[in-house]
Amino acid sequence: KSLHPDKTEHDLEWIAKVKVNTQAVLKRAQHVQGQKTPKKQWQAAWLLKAVTCIDLTTLAGDDTPSNIHRLCLKAIQPVRYDLLKKMDMHDKGITTAAVCVYPSRVADAIKLLNAANSSLPVASVATGFPTGQTPLETRLQEVHMAVADGATEIDIVINRMLVLTGQWEALYDEICQFRQACSDAHMKTILAIGELGTFTNVYKASMVAMMAGSDFIKTSTGKEVVNATYPVAIVMMRAIRNYFLCTGHKVGFKPAGGIRTAQESLVWLTLIKEELGNDWLCPHLFRLGASSLLADIERQIYHYVTGQYAAYHELPMP
């Protein structure tokens, strides 16, 4: 799936020379956060769009078949039916984009979705998530197992050490091996931006990940101290845009970690629209990695429909 297997060395030479203008990035991020977001029915429409782009996630040490069961049911019916009916959106097939779980829980998710007659994709984090500090052999094996259990999307983590020490070719080779292990499954490459040190490293890692055949690049595991931030997202989106201009190939973007409010989801959608354009405003090219975001979006939709705010116990939780 790599686009330039024959001229990797030549392609990676320029990577070393890239520099990112930090002040310009921070200024752009400030501008985005200061912009007005849609209100009333336009806001409700954007929030439903955000719902369809969520990878509804649980990555806890105490995950069990029963909370995976609840997660899947919530992903299939993310907003209460009566609320959707009042908006005349009950028959539009609104679901989240996918559910995202640990490899050992993939089979549980597949079983429930099959029983519910749902074709919702199951994404799984593999490759020694979240640190990527297990041997390469083990990480590849994990991908094979998740795919064998039915995951059609794999969220891999890169080896941060290769970025921090500037080993771009080794990073490229490693991601290519993950790409191969994913087979037909979509590969989302997590950069763990909070551990890469500089915007320049984020840009370089983004480019290498795309050159090695990633379908998406993703900000974070959600387990780092710093997760999805707007400045880093701008750097990654510019990389996606430049890659598209050079190759004609569209790579998706997934912010993850710490995205909790409906208001934030509107800022993310606005940023995507302005930086990458309307083509990216769909689950095929944009995902929000989140576990608690959906609850707040549903509360905002409840408010739009009823004029009142729901108590948290009034809305079913994953």
Give dist(CA 308, CA 304) in Å, integer. 8
Q: What percent of the chain is modeled with pLDDT above 90?
A: 90
- Asked whether residue 120 carries a pLDDT value surpassing 60, the answer given is yes
Q: Are 78 and 295 in contact (CB under 8 A)?
A: no
Q: Is 218 a catalytic residue?
A: yes
What is the pLDDT averaged over residues 4-31? 81
The active-site residue out of 17, 27, 254, 273 is 254
DSSP 103: G
Question: What are 234-284's pLDDT values in tens digits?
Answer: 999 999 999 999 999 999 999 999 999 999 999 999 999 999 999 999 999
Name the band, by pLDDT with cuts 50, 70 and 90, for residue 311: confident
Q: Considering Cα of 178, then 179, then 185, then 188, what sign does the dihedral take?
A: positive
Greater pLDDT, 318 or 271: 271
Mean pLDDT across the stretch 48-75?
A: 96
From residue 304, how far is each of 87, 95, 202, 231 by CA, in Å?
Answer: 10, 19, 38, 31
Is 17 a residue of the active site? Answer: no
Q: Is the pLDDT of residue 133 over 70?
A: yes
What are the φ/ψ torsions at residue 286 (nearest 5 degrees)?
-145, 130
Q: What is the pLDDT of residue 62?
A: 94
Band of pLDDT at residue 16, cut at 50, 70 and 90 = confident
Instruction: Put the strands of the sheet holding 122-125 in their side by side order.
Output: 252-254, 216-218, 186-190, 153-157, 122-125, 98-101, 54-57, 288-290
The string of DSSP letters for 217-246 reads EE---S-SSS---HHHHHHHHHHHHHHHHH
Q: What are the CA-CA distances from residue 19 to residues 22, 25, 41, 187, 200 (Å)?
A: 9, 12, 42, 27, 6
Between CA 101 and CA 108 the distance in angstroms is: 10
Residue 6, pLDDT > 60, answer no
Look at residue 10 in the predicted model and tell me its pLDDT: 57
Among the listed residues 74, 188, 204, 218, the single catalytic one is 218
Average pLDDT, the chain: 94
The pLDDT score that the predictor gives to residue 14 is 85
CATH topology of domain 12-306: TIM Barrel (3.20.20)
The neighbouring-strand residues paired with 56 are: 99, 290
Mean predicted confidence (pLDDT) in 150-166: 97
